[in-house]
Chains A and B, each alone.
Chain A
Amino acid sequence: MSVENAPVVDVDEAAIPVEKKMYYRFESNDKKEFRVSELAIQQSETLNRLVEAMGYTSEDVENKPAIAIENIDGKTLKLVFQWCEHHKGEAIPVDDGSVPKIVEIPEFDAKLMDIDNGLLFKLIWAADYLNIVQLLNVSCKKVANMAQGKTPAQLRRVYLLPSDEEDEAAKRAAQEAQDPRAREVEEEFEERKRQGGNSFF
C-alpha cells in the first residue's frame, strides 16, 4: 500500500467508513481532526490505554468532541496515523535487549519518512510520546543510519553535537543566568587563591 493510499482520513475530506468498525476522532494541537480505526490505535500503547479508559461507544465517538492531543501538530499526527493504519494488526515488537538492535525499514515506512529532518524529529517525539514501539524503532533507525561512514567532524555537523568547549561555555552561561553572584564569588575565590590566601573568609 502506498503512503498516499494509507487510510488515515482528514475529517473534511473523509468518507464515512463502510465497515462496522469503531473509528475514533483525534484532534492535533493545530485543530486538525483525524479518524483512526480501533485496530490502528492498538499500535500506540498510550492511545490504546486512553480509549480503553474512556470506554466510548460508537455514538460517543460521533457526538463527543474529538480527543485532543495537545503537543503534536497535524502534519506529524497525520504521519503517525498513516503509519498506524498501515501496520494495524501487526504484533508489537518486544525489546529483547539484544545489541545491536536489528531493525529493517520497510518500503512503506521509508517512503513515509521521506521527509525533512525537522518533521522526522517531531515524528520521533510523537512516536515516543504515544509509545508506538515499531514506529519509534524505524524512525530512530533512520537517524542512526545518518552516522554511517561519518568521521567525528562530520558527525558533529550531522547531529549538531557541541564540542567540549561549547558544552563548558553553555554550562557557564546557564550557571550565570541562574545566579550571577555565584560567578562573582567564584572569580573572587580564584583571585584570592592566586594571591596565596588560605581562607576565603
Chain B
Amino acid sequence: MPIKLLAFPYLALCNIIQLMGLSSIIILSICSRKALRIVKSVRWNTHIYRYELSRTCLRMIINRGGPINLKFGRHVTTNTFYKLNDEVVKFELEKTPFEVRKGPVLESKNYIVFVSMEEQREIASTVFHNYIVDIFGSCSNIKLHIKDCHFHPPLPPMEALSDTVLSGDQMRTDYFEALLTKYPNQNSISIYTFLDREPNNQIIDGIKNIFWRTSLDYARLALLNFNGNNMVLRMANINNQDIIQFLRDWVSNRKYQNLETISIKSLEDNILNVVEILQEFTVFNYDPDRRPENYEYDPKQNDQIN
C-alpha cells in the first residue's frame, strides 16, 4: 500500500527526506520538479564532500552518508554488469543522459547506481557534481581520492577542492602537474603512487600540507621548494647536503616561514649522517623549560581519505 509523501506536514516531510540514503534522495529529486524543489528546500548542513575517482566509478560521499555511485559504462544500455530493472530508467541532467540501475549482482539488492557513458565521463562527472551541489549546497571542504592513478581518470572540475589523496601503481607526472594546476592552493595532498619523472619544481608551491609516501628522488625537490606548514617525506632519497641546506634556510628565516613540522625517513640504503649534519650548526642540549617534550601534531593536517 502506498503512502502519500507530499501530504505529510512540512517538518515531517523534511525529516523523512533527511533520513533517506543519498541515492534515494537523488532519485526522489528526479521524480518531478516539485520533488526537486522540496528536496532542495531541506536544510542540509553540508560540511564535507568526499569524492573517490576510479577507472569505472565516481563515488560521492556527503558528510558521513552515502555513497552515491556514478558508474561509467562503455555502452550504457547493453552493459550486462548490472542486474536490469523491470524498466531501464533514463533521465537527463543538463542534456547529459544518465541511467538508474540496480547495483552489481553480487552486491545488495537495494544498491542503486547511476550510469553514464564512458565517453561522457568528464561532462557527466561535472554535471552530476553540479547537480549535487545544487541540492546539498556548496561547501569549502571537498576531498578527492584518485584511486587508480595509473588509469589517469579525467578530473572533474570542482571549485574549492581542499584535499587530495593519490593512490595506485604509477602516475604520469604530467597528470600530477595537471591536477595541481587545476586545483592549486589545497590544504593537503597525500601521494601513495609513483611518478614517472620529476615534476616541475613550482608545482607544490600552494600546498599547505604534504604527505609523500613515495618521494624517492623527488624528495629533494619537495624539500627545497616547500612553502607550506607540514611535510612528511617517506622513502626519501636525500643526502646530508640537502638537509644542511634546508636547515640553514629554515633557521636563518630565509625560507620556510610557514613551516611547523617536518618528518623525513630516508631509504634504508641512504642513511643520513646526523653527526655530520649537526657539525654544521651551533647546537644546544635539549631544555624542557624552553620547548615542550612532545609536539602536538594534528593528523587532520594531512587528512587522508581512506
With A98-B45, A98-B64, A152-B91 already in contact, 14 other A-B pairs whose C-beta atoms are closer than 8 Å:
A97-B45, A98-B63, A99-B45, A99-B62, A99-B136, A101-B19, A116-B1, A128-B11, A137-B19, A148-B24, A150-B27, A161-B35, A162-B32, A163-B31
Are B18 and A149 in contact (CB-based, < 8 A)?
A: no
Interface residue B296 (Cβ < 8 Å from any Cβ of A): no
Judge if B201 is at the interface, Cβ distance under 8 Å: no
> What are 5 A-B residue pairs whose CB atoms fall within 8 Å in the complex?
A118-B1, A140-B15, A140-B19, A159-B3, A163-B32
**Is the C-beta of A174 less than 8 angstroms from some C-beta in chain B?**
no
Specify the main secondary structure of chain A where it touches its partner: helix
- B contact residues around A167 at 8 Å (CB): 32-34
Q: Mark B1-22, 1 if CB is under 8 A from A, else 0.
A: 1111111110110011111111
Whether A160 pairs with B5 at a CB distance below 8 angstroms is yes
What is the CA–CA distance of A5 and B100 in the complex, to the nearest angstrom?
A: 45
B277 at the interface (CB under 8 A from A): no
Q: Is A56 an interface residue (CB 8 A)?
A: no
- A158 part of interface (Cβ distance < 8 Å): yes
Chain A CB within 8 A of B233 CB: no
Interface size class of A (residues with CB under 8 A): 35 or more
Which residues in B have some Cβ–Cβ distance to A below 8 Å? Answer: 1-9, 11-12, 15-22, 24, 27-28, 30-35, 43-46, 62-65, 85, 87, 89, 91, 100, 102, 108-112, 136
The digit string for A138-156, where 1 denotes a CB below 8 A from any CB of B, is 0011011011111111011
Instruction: Give me the interface of A with B, judged by CB distance under 8 Å.
Output: 97-101, 103, 116-118, 120-121, 124-125, 127-128, 136-137, 140-141, 143-144, 146-153, 155-164, 167
Q: What residues on A are CB-neighbors of B5 within 8 Å?
A: 143, 159-161
CA distance A136 to B85 in the complex (A): 33
> A150: which B residues are within 8 A, CB to CB?
24, 27, 112
A100 adjacent to B22 (CB under 8 Å) = yes
A160 touches B4 (CB 8 A): yes
